Amino acid sequence: MKRIFRIATKSGNIDLNITKAVSIKSPKKMFCLEEMKDGNYRLTWSDSLVANFSEIDGFEIIREDFDNE
């Protein structure tokens, strides 16, 4: 299985290859993406946020711009 965290920018996409995914037991909801020594990325999340990685279909980043009035 190939997992990629995609960041869309105006000049193109930045794909971060996720080779490890780890769930930790924590009552606090958390999500962390970190670069490893080999240049790939590890995704870590708390089980209170998502119990099982197979439940995650993908990621989306939503940006809302507000005009200063």
Kindly report the pTM of this predicted structure.
0.69
Q: Residues with Cβ < 8 Å from 36, sequence gap 6 or more?
A: 19, 20, 42
- Note the pLDDT tens digit of each residue in 3-44: 888 887 788 888 888 898 888 999 999 889 999 999 999 989
CB 21 within 8 A of CB 4: no
Q: Where are the domains of the chain?
A: 3-55
CA separation for the pair 39, 45 (Å, rounded)? 20
